[in-house]
Amino acid sequence: MRVGVITFPGTLDDVDAQRAVRYADGEAVPLWHGDHDLKGVDAVIVPGGFSYGDYLRCGAIARFAPVMQEVIEAANKGMPVLGICNGFQILAEAHLLPGALVRNHKLHFVCRDQWLKVENNTTSWTGRYDLGAEILVPLKSGEGGYQADEDTLKELEDDNRVVFRYVGENPNGSRNNIAGITNARGNVVGLMPHPEHAIDALTGPTDDGLGMFLSLLDSVVKA
Amino acid sequence: MARVVVDVMPKPEILDPQGQAVANALPRLGFDGVTAVRQGKHFELEVADDVDDATLAKIAETFLANPVIEDWTVRRVEA
Amino acid sequence: MIDTVKNAESTPDQEQPYQELGLKDDEYARIKEILRRRPTDAELAMYSVMWSEHCSYKSSKVHLKYFGDTTTDEMRSKMLAGIGENAGVVDIGDGWAVTFKLESHNHPSYVEPYQGAATGVGGIVRDILAMGARPLAVMDPLRFGKPDAPDTKRVLPGIVAGVGGYGNCLGLPNIGGEVVFDESYQGNPLVNALCVGAMRVEDLHLAHASGTGNKVILYGARTGLDGIGGVSVLASETFDDSAGKRKKLPSVQVGDPFTEKVLIECSLELFEKGIVAGIQDLGGAGLSCATSELASAGDGGMHVYLERVPLRATGMTPAEILSSESQERMCAVVEPANVEAFLEVCAKWDVIATEIGEVTDGDRLVITYDGEVVVDVPPRTVAHEGPVYHRPIQRPADQDELQANTPDSLPRPENLLELIKTMAASPNLASKKWVTQQYDRYVRGGTILAQPSDGGMIRIDEETGRGVALSTDCNGRYTKLDPYEGAKLALAEAYRNVAATGATPVAVTNCLNFGSPEDPAVMWQFEQAVKGLADGCAELGIPVTGGNVSFYNQTGSTAILPTPVVGVLGVIDDVRRRIPTGIGAEAGETLLLLGETRDEFGGSEWAHHVHGHLGGLPPKVDLQREKLLGQVLVAGSRDGMVSAAHDLSEGGLAQALVETCLIGEVGARVFLQGDLFTELFSESAGRVLVAVPRTEEQRFTDMCTARRLPWRKVGVVDPESNALEIQDLGELPLDELREAWEGTLPALFD
């Protein structure tokens, strides 16, 4: 399994996403923001960070990088794509996922260990989890509040496209406690929390996040 | 009631990373000819008629702007 | 008109605003003597900033020498670079070198809390980068005035947001630090920043410009009018005011963490390709500092073409370009054959890079602007041979009175259970989660321990598991009562905190925050603290590898508490053997108290919080005991005998019990003997609370006994219980304790 991990100027969690891929016995393939091809990878991770400083809007500039045009095309053909934190913001700006991420309701950056409930285990990235399972992974973001209009929220809920929901106190003001969503096809997933930081209890709160990368392995093998 | 617009901009001599990031991105997106961008904040206030200009200036100076690094302007616009 | 050397020679009597630039009469006279003429505006700007207290250490130098005098060859054996370099470097084994440094950014953070704190982080990170290392983590010891003072409510949220905003965007985990409140810091918050980085031993880069013909390349952000408020007195006289008006220049710098992140990755790629001969970051004093220090440390001279410097503002004068403190810039010395490759790497990262000069075979630093010479100086006189002062020193007249005013007569309370809660909720002991939750502690995936652990720990080598632990500490009240012993206590606490994680302490850095050096009483505190710290390090056998001095921290004539913040670095062979702070990780643990408890309340948190009292003597410090304690903890970690450890400091055993239960989320049953108030709240040094698995209890206590480390069984962990139960006193439900401990800061600052 070869998994591309994109680095934009300002990307921070690319090394962690690469490590997570290796922990799942995959090969991590670095992709540069200026690349015009995806080097034959089976899946792509858009990792966390502050691409281009996130100064205009989170993800607004990165969304136009050459490599993203390739990602958009591949995603629309069914390639598994995962956006974590800033990656989720970029996928939303690129309209691969609906809605937008806005400033946390308490206006502070929040770094904490966060319980999530698995609401959909049929995507390319969540097959290893039991439906309804609760996992503990780090959340670290200043603009993680999920926002969408009522119609979009209804569609997400009706079509079972909410993948993860925050358990307990809502950490950032997300509508419907949404932590992560998927597209209609289930190959593109975006979430604010960081599964790649929960792959080893030595460096993270748990190894609960590894399941996402192992799930990918299953879906790539199946495909 | 009147509408008051307060614009807050980073002082010209102060580094504006936000504006700079936008300016650098434009040529990459194929928009040439923009030589500089500065990014500020725009506030629209609905204000009772008895609030005078001095008060508005104080609101801008002490609260909406950080005068250490930002300039501000206040203007009343027709409702 | 630009003030050139030629012009200076022909107008020897022109008046210059040297006093406004902070130079004294005799300092100005000395500059004239060195140059055998009056300085140009640009030279005056350079000398004034480089001879400032901040850059020249002119008041502290004679005292700091004592660190070198007390460092033995044996202590130095693991040191690859020390005082005088951008940051100290230590060999930690497996071919890894680790570099770390603490620095202050106090005054800018008071003026503009967010940007002041942000650029403080940015500056220390570039110091580490300039050693050739990848920056790996940051920590921020912060001190504020009274928690409920209006100014604290302005300053604290801004500083915390600035530290987080910059560090988070830069992608460096924040793994520790301090938040301390004391009235003396009102109007003088202390923002100290630590960064630690690592490199392979052979990749160490020192800042010097050698090799005639080598090129000097400035890369990173453009140069603007940031932070040159002081030099604007020159601008008003010499600047051709064609734009019509220029407002008074601000002394504030704005940080751009995105540019810094790109600068880091770009620099590391340059190091990796081996195309950098020398490197220096641009911090305070900007190009003045970087060019003079590079030239001064090298074996030749340097010629800089100032008109080549990429500018962000129009109409900047040579003096302004040299003094600008624009952030996110670095200066490299590169062999001519490598210049092209250098520029290619910079282009890949969209980093502006400009060849601004070259190393010459002379011994002068010559700076020209459009062909005219504006600076022609011996670089050593700017960078290294600044003025040195022997400031008057006088033990404060009221020091005896302060020490005689012991806490012995303070009424001690009846209800100790209630006091445990009161103390846990006091601002200095309360959970700092409100602050640390705004910092990313996970990025880069190497964080093993972070707040609220005693020390932060990061993994350096993913293969071997080798890592380092760090802690910064200082109790300014102790140092006020006795600066010599207080500095030793700060060292002892940082040392103990590192040892409590299972790491072996190996090196020390410091940030010495004091009042005005022109006050003999402050100079006495400073001299005593330096001596105490240096003597302490010699006794522990670990060297001071670097440090920073911040003077003039005072409001009017009232100085802050003397605050020598001490940072200790430790090494652990395998981070999998780290000792956590919270109990309950193993089934069936015994709680042991290592060390001795005496009736010591001078400078204690109890006296401060409950009685507003500061007097007497600080707790006694026994560094041999600290060393033994450290060895026992490291042995306990290595042999898997210790499942949790928490250092006892402010708030004593009571606070350590509260924290270890709340962090571990389990209850405990505690049995104490003797005077319970002293047992619970005394701040005697040299003590650690450890949890050992019951299966290891005998082996561990036998080892303590054999090594003559006093120990006492004080309780057991009770996984079934949701309370801290203290025999003869009663029990405190954990949720009640948590509400007290975690409720204070949100109530103050949300």
Residue A99 exposure: Cα atoms within 13 Å on the Cβ side: 33
Give the rounded percent of residues in chain C with a pLDDT score beyond 90.
85
| pLDDT-derived band at C490, boundaries 50, 70, 90 | very high
Residues 6+ apart with CB under 8 A from C34: C377, C378, C381
The reply to whether residue B15 touches residue C253, judged by beta carbons under 8 angstroms, is yes
Burial of C66 by CB count in 10 Å (0-12 exposed, 13-18 middle, 19+ buried)?
middle
Residue A199 near residue A209 (C-beta atoms within 8 A)? yes
Q: Which residues of C touch A49 (CB under 8 A)?
A: 171
- Do β-strands A188-191 and A81-84 pair in parallel, antiparallel, or remain unpaired? parallel
Is C613 considered catalytic here?
no
Residue C20 near residue C7 (C-beta atoms within 8 A)? no
Distance CA C263, CA C328 (A): 7
> Residue C205: pLDDT above 90?
no
How near does any CA of chain A get to the CA of B42, in Å?
14
From the list A8, C258, A62, A48, the residue with the least C-alpha distance to B29 is: A62
Residue of B nearest to A63 (CA): B29
Q: Which residues of C83-98 are buried (b: 16+ CB within 10 A; e: fewer)?
A: bebbbbbbbbbeebbb
Beta bridge partners of C671: none
Q: Determine the topology of domain B2-77 in CATH.
A: Mth169; Chain: A , (3.30.1280)
In this prediction, residue C249 carries a pLDDT of: 55
Q: Which residues of B touch A93 (CB under 8 A)?
A: none
Interface of C with A in 462-491 (CB under 8 A): none
| pLDDT-derived band at A67, boundaries 50, 70, 90 | very high
Distance CA A98, CA A83 (A): 13
Identify whether C379 is preceded by a cis peptide bond (ω within 30 of 0). no
What is the DSSP annotation of C204-254? -------STTPEEEEEESPB-STT-TTTHHHHHHHS--TTS--PPPP----
A191: tokens are 């979430």
Distance CA C166, CA C171 (A): 9
Q: What is the mean pLDDT of chain B?
A: 89
Task: Please tell me which of the candidates A56, A64, A65 has its beta carbon nearest to residue B21.
Answer: A56
Average pLDDT over residues A116-134: 98
Residue A190 near residue A87 (C-beta atoms within 8 A)? yes
- Phi, psi (deg, nearest 5) at residue C154: -80, -45
Residue C653 near residue C443 (C-beta atoms within 8 A)? no
Burial of A133 by CB count in 10 Å (0-12 exposed, 13-18 middle, 19+ buried)?
middle
Burial of C555 by CB count in 10 Å (0-12 exposed, 13-18 middle, 19+ buried)?
middle
pLDDT tens digits, C315-338:
899 999 999 999 999 999 999 999
Q: In what order do the strands lie in the sheet with C563-572?
A: C447-449, C456-459, C467-473, C563-572, C504-513, C544-550
Q: Which residues of C141-173 are buried (b: 16+ CB within 10 A; e: fewer)?
A: bbbbbebebeebeebbbbbbbbbbbbbbbbbbb
How near does any CA of chain C get to the CA of B14, in Å?
6
Check CB contact of C339 with chain B, cutoff 8 Å: no
Residue of A nearest to B40 (CA): A56
From the list A3, A5, A2, A21, the residue with the least C-alpha distance to A195 is: A21
> Residue C244: pLDDT above 50?
no
From the list C642, C644, C624, the residue with the least C-alpha distance to C492 is: C624
| pLDDT-derived band at B79, boundaries 50, 70, 90 | low
Burial of C340 by CB count in 10 Å (0-12 exposed, 13-18 middle, 19+ buried)?
exposed
- Name the least confident of A192-196, C201-205, C233-237, C573-577: C233-237
ipTM of model over 0.85: yes
Which of the other chains make 3 or more beta carbon contacts under 8 angstroms with chain B?
Answer: A, C
The reply to whether residue B28 touches residue A55, judged by beta carbons under 8 angstroms, is no
The reply to whether residue B39 touches residue A61, judged by beta carbons under 8 angstroms, is no
Distance CA C540, CA C287 (A): 39
> Residue C274: pLDDT above 70?
yes
Average pLDDT over residues C705-716: 97
Binding residues of C for ATP: 57, 101, 510, 547
pLDDT tens digits, C103-151:
999 999 998 999 999 999 999 999 999 999 999 999 999 999 999 999 9
Q: Which residues of B touch C115 (CB under 8 A)?
A: 69
Check CB contact of B55 with chain A, cutoff 8 Å: no
Check CB contact of B25 with chain C, cutoff 8 Å: no
For the packed helices C286-297 and C41-50, what is the interaxial angle rounded to 10 degrees?
A: 80
Residues 6+ apart with CB under 8 A from A147: A99, A100, A101, A102, A174, A175
Check CB contact of C232 with chain B, cutoff 8 Å: no
> Residue C344: pLDDT above 50?
yes
Residue C180 near residue C513 (C-beta atoms within 8 A)? no
The reply to whether residue A64 touches residue B28, judged by beta carbons under 8 angstroms, is yes
pLDDT tens digits, A146-181:
999 999 999 999 999 999 999 999 999 999 999 999
Is C105 considered catalytic here?
yes
